[in-house]
Each structure stands twice: as structure tokens, then as C-alpha cells.
Amino acid sequence: MSPRSHSASDANRLAHAALLAALAWVIASFLVQELYSLDAWWHIAIGRDILDHRSIPRVDRYTVLGLGLPYHDSHWLFQLLLGVFHRAFGLLGAQWVQIGLWGGTFALTYRAARRWAEAPTSAALTFLAAMACVERFLPRPEAITVLMVAAFYLVLADRERPLRFRIAILFALQLIWVNSHGLFAIGPGMVGAYAVEAVWAGVRSKARDWKPALATLGAVLLATLVTPYGGGAWAYAALILTEASAPGIVSGLGEMSPTFGANARSSPAFWFFAALVALLAGSAIHALARRRPLPLARSIIVAAMFVAALMGRRNIVLFAAVAVPFLAEAIGPMLDRLGRRTAPCVALALAMLAWSWMPLSGRFYLDLELPTRAGFGVTQSFFPHGLPNFLERIDFDGNVLNSNTLGGFVIYHRYPQNLPLTDGRWEVYGPERIEFVLASTRTPGEWRDAVRAHDLRGILLAHTSPEAEALLPDLARDANWRLVYLDQAASFWMPGTTPATIRARDPRAALDALPPRFEDAVILAAFYDRIGEPALQVAALERALAFGWRPQRLLEQLGPLQLGLKDYAGAEATYRSLLALDSQNASALNELAFLAYVRGDLDEALSLVQEALRLDADNSKYRNNLDRLRAALAAADPEVPTH
């Protein structure tokens, strides 16, 4: 080999190493993020409770609505894992669990891809899959499911190790899975795909060698029965698989929104998912053109995961975990030819490093309106972090009507002294109780029924929650309740009979204590809107504007408020700023016409409203304003024509 060849080979090795390092870096940049998961709180709290009692809960003891009801804790092993790490590392432990589970998933998908493709191809495909999953980088039990899907795919595709070894591994994995998440039924489904392949091959060849596949399926099915609930785990799995049909609850969650809907398409993760789908379609067309059959079992698995992904955007992760090795098998040799060249590897590594700027800068989270940033710890936004100390200081005794999103937060900080009415575990309560709580906490005026029925002593409302939208207007006008705690995330209210030593809180004070983040000001503005304080809402929106993020949306909210407060100078400045951002904004032109009219400048008002009509000729409001202005001009100067 010539020195030139040695040099090229060394350059390739360096490029491949750089690509793998960039892959690890970009995945880590998204994985290491502040904790913001709503469910993590109650998962950790129940994990701690399992450690303290050394038993798995059989009845609910964590919420007022579910108190004493039978509780099938399908997540107990995952919660125990969180509890152990929390005991060792505090809330940082939940982040370590998240990083470990998701990092392990991508390590397995990469390793599975390496069975069929070289390192650059495997790294590129793993990058696409990881970025398609970034919305689900949370310390939740579904991370166990995605990890197990990747592990099952790898083990099932391995025909080099002895059958008994593979069966033992799958049995152990299924045992963990069935005790960690309700979607454990995917495991037998994946093994069943191989059983179908074996039966089909046996029918075609008449060899009928089905025993290995059936033995594997039997072992995995047996593992699903090894739970504290025995076969009851399957009944719970059926509930989870059908929960998307629950009206107004699960089906209304953003994570269950249509995979190809407008909401999903606004996320970068969707486009990485779309790239995987496009490659999958291309591989199928390529196989058909070459008349090369795709592996039946793995094709069934990938097709099933794709169908699952179509049922809700949160299921994209299931498809991503199996798409990587399948694509490596289907089109790996084609992509490998490109990956053997240095330039494409270096370009992809640089693209990965550039993409990592999105989470590290915070841009990714601001775009998706997620209240978190890259780094360790818990987000300073979204949760009322000062509330636990406040409740401790006033020696609060009693249970809480709460926004469902904050139920886990209350359990984590106050169990067993105080219980929330609900948390995120809707399947615990049953349809009748759910209907009651939805009616009483999301219908104006009816929240008092829940307070009386359950003797609730406080009301905790996240500013942007449905419960706050319904309750805050009532609470702000009700002399029998007073605001005693307020921060950028939530408000806490207590009855008027509360001792006078617990003073009412001035809503203005929260503005001075705002953390330095855009979303905190926006969330607090929602609170002021709902308690009917437009001047404070204006102040919060102006604070948000100072960050320079999404100014057009903020200005569009600010202008009408200033008009309502008769702050005409402020409103004019707002609408001129809006027009500077969007010169075709007909609404801003119309409002500026009104403000010119208020100043007595009828000529400018006429010019502005005519421009608004040029942009939106069918707008009846603008046309009526034009008619009024012409009438005003005619009255002021009879010589001025009116048309």
C-alpha cells in the first residue's frame, strides 16, 4: 500500500471517529436538560413510598379522588428505579435515569444497525432516529418500552448465539418490561412476528421447524405473568392501548395529537421522522425493483410500529427504534459507499455539532414553548417552587383542589400530610369520578361542589391550566377566598376563614420576583388576564417583550389591552412597532387609523384605513370605519367629497 493510501485510510478513520463523537455529543446536548416532566414528580414520590414501605401499593393513597380505590401500579419497577436514584442523587437522579435509558436505546439501535451497515451509515441513521425522539426525552416509563423495543429487535435478529441464551435474555427483558410499563405487550408481538415467519417458512418448505420460535414466544408470554398482579397486567395493557379514546383527557393531550397534523409539523422532530419514513419508502421501492424480498418478521415489526406512530405523535419513538437497523439492512450497502469517503463524514459530523446549538442555546425549547433549558436540575419555570416552604411555614393542614398538572408536584413535596384532588393517573379514578372532577374544576362556578364534597382547604392553580381558566375569574371575585401565594407558575388560594396571620398576597408583587425567562412573564400575564387585571397583564407582557422573543405575537396581545385602558400613546407605539415587523398587517393599520381619529387627524386616519382595506378588501369592520371617517370629514368640511 502506498503512503498516499495509508494517508487516506488514516483520514477516514479520523473522520469516522469524529462522526461517532459528534453523534454522542448531539444526543447528549438534547438529553441533558432541566427536569420539567409533570409525571416525574408522582413517579418519584411513589418510588420513594415503595422504598419506605418495602411493598407495592395495591390501593391508591396518593390523591383525594382515588383514595382507597384499587390501584394497578404497572410502573412500580420503573418508579423503584427512580426512587433509588433519587435517594442517592436527589432530583438529579431522575435525570441520570433519563440519560441512561435513552442513551442505552440509541446505543442498542446503533449496535443493531452495525450488523448490516458500516459505522458512518449506522451513525447517520441513529442520528435521524434520536432527533425524531427528542420530544420524549423525559424520565417516564415509556423510556423503558423504547429501550426494550430496541433490545428485542437486536436479540431477535441475532442467530449466532445459542437459542437458550437468547430465550433467557428475552425472558429477563420481558420481566423488566411487564413490571415497568403498560405497553409491555409489544414484546410478545415482536416475538410473534418471528413465529409468523417461521410458520410461513415451514409451510413453504414443509420442514415445519417451528419449535424454536414457539418456544421463544412461550417464554416471553410466561414472563408477562410474573408480576404482582399476575395476568391482571394484560387487562391493564388493554386499558392503556385504548386510552386514546377517552374523551377530553388522553386524546386531548398534545402527545396524542395527529402525527402528520399542523401541531406535529411545527416540531423539528417531525421532519427527522419524515426523513426516516422517506428512507423506508425508498428502501421498499428499491427492494421491489431488485426483486429482493425483505425479511418477513422484521418487516412486520417495522410496519406495526409505523402504524402505531400514525396513531399519535408520542409513538414516533417506537418506529424510530426499529427503523434504524431495518434501514441498515435494506439500504446499508448503498449508503456505505458514501460513508467510506472522508468528506461526507466530516460534513455530517459538522452538521451534528451545528444542530446541537439548538438545545444548548435554548432556541429549541423556546420554539416549542417548553419551559426548560439544557443543563442539570429542575426548570425554574412551570412549578411553584416556593409553595412547599410556604405551606410548611403556615402549617397547612388539609387537602387541595388543584390543576391536574400540579398533582404530582403536591404528592412529591407534601405526601402524606396533604393530598391533591387528582394527578396525571387518570386510569385510577374511573369514568364517573373523572366526569365529576372535569365538571367541577373546568366549569365556571361548579368548583365549590368539589370543595364541599371533599372538604378541600386550599386551591392550587397553574396559571395556564384549564382549571385556572374556569376558576380564577370566580375566585378573584369571591370574598370568601383570598390569594395567599403567587409566583410565575401558580397561585394558591385559601378560604376567608383562614387565620389573619396568613395575609392576602398583592398580585403586583409577583412581577418583581419574576425569574429572568421569557416564558415566566408570558405565563404570569395569563394569570393577570384571568383575574381581570389588564394593567398588570400589560406590565407582564412588556416584561416579556424585553426578551425580544416572538415580539409580533406579544404586540398583538398588548395593543388591545392598552386600548381598553385608554393608554392611547402606548397603543400607538405598540401598533407602530407591529407595523414595523409586518408592513402588511391590516389590523394594525386599522387600529392606528382609530388612534389618528382620536388625535383628531382625520386625513391620516382615512389614509390608514384605506390602506387596511387595500390589504383586506372584504373586511366589513374596516369598510364601516371608512364610511364613518368620510362622514366625519364631510361634517368637518362640507366641501370635502364623501366618495
Check residue 5 and give its pLDDT: 45
Q: Where are the beta strands (DSSP E) in 399-529?
A: 399-402, 456-462, 481-486, 490-495
Beta-bridged to residue 495, according to DSSP, are 481
The DSSP H or E segment spanning 326 is helix 316-339
| The listed CATH number (3.30.450.20, 2.30.29.30, 1.25.40.10, 3.40.50.150) that belongs to domain 548-636 | 1.25.40.10
The DSSP H or E segment spanning 190 is helix 186-205
Report DSSP letters for 547-571, one per residue.
TTSSHHHHHHHHHHHHHHTT-HHHH
Domain boundaries, the chain: 16-238+252-367, 387-505, 548-636
Read off the pLDDT band of 63 (50, 70, 90). very high
The per-residue pLDDT for range 273-285, each reduced to its tens digit, is 999 999 999 988 8
pLDDT at 48 over 80: yes
Which residues contact residue 503 at a Cβ distance below 8 angstroms, ignoring those fewer than 6 apart? Answer: 484
- Of residues 514 and 138, the one with the higher pLDDT is 138
How far is the C-alpha of 259 from the C-alpha of 312, rounded, in Å? 5
Question: In CATH, what is the architecture of 387-505?
Answer: 3-Layer(aba) Sandwich (3.40)
Check residue 251 and give its pLDDT: 47
How far is the C-alpha of 385 from the C-alpha of 393, rounded, in Å? 14
Mean pLDDT of 537-548: 95
Mean pLDDT of 122-133: 97
Mean pLDDT of 383-410: 96
Report for 187-196, 236-245, 250-259, 443-452: range of highest mean pLDDT: 187-196
**Minimum mean pLDDT among 232-241, 319-328, 436-445, 518-527: which range?**
232-241
The angle subtended at Cα 444 by Cα 443 and Cα 448, nearest 5°, is 90
Cis preceding-peptide flag for 416 (omega within 30 of 0): yes
Read off the pLDDT band of 86 (50, 70, 90). very high
How far is the C-alpha of 574 from the C-alpha of 580, rounded, in Å? 10
For 108, the grid coordinates are 442498542
**Minimum mean pLDDT among 56-65, 224-233, 567-576: which range?**
224-233
Mean pLDDT of 307-334: 93
How far is the C-alpha of 142 from the C-alpha of 318, rounded, in Å? 10
Check residue 206 and give its pLDDT: 59
Check residue 643 and give its pLDDT: 31
Q: CA 366 from chain center: how many Å? A: 13
Check residue 230 and give its pLDDT: 87
End-to-end CA distance of the chain: 89
Report for 61-65, 255-259, 421-425, 428-432: range of highest mean pLDDT: 61-65
pLDDT at 91 over 50: yes
pLDDT at 263 over 90: no
Read off the pLDDT band of 10 (50, 70, 90). confident
Residues 145 and 100: beta-carbon distance below 8 Å: no
Regarding pTM above 0.75, the answer is: yes
Which residues contact residue 330 at a Cβ distance below 8 angstroms, ignoring those fewer than 6 apart? Answer: 280, 283, 284, 286, 287, 294
* Strand, helix or coil for residue 544: helix
Read off the pLDDT band of 241 (50, 70, 90). low
Mean pLDDT of 113-119: 94
pLDDT at 580 over 80: yes
Mean pLDDT of 578-584: 94
Q: What is the mean pLDDT of the chain?
A: 90
Mean pLDDT of 231-240: 81
Q: Which residue has cell 396568613?
A: 502
How far is the C-alpha of 327 from the C-alpha of 280, rounded, in Å? 7
Residues 152 and 322: beta-carbon distance below 8 Å: no
Nearest to 594 by CA among 566, 614, 615: 566
Check residue 464 and give its pLDDT: 95
Share of the chain above pLDDT 70, in %: 94
Which residues contact residue 94 at a Cβ distance below 8 angstroms, ignoring those fewer than 6 apart? Answer: 35, 40, 44, 82, 85, 86, 139
Read off the pLDDT band of 640 (50, 70, 90). very low
For 70, the grid coordinates are 384499587
Share of the chain above pLDDT 90, in %: 71
**Alpha helices, DSSP H only, in 37-75?**
40-53
Count of CB atoms within 10 A of residue 27's CB?
A: 26
pLDDT at 115 over 60: yes
For 311, the grid coordinates are 396513531
Q: Which residue has cell 394569570?
A: 527
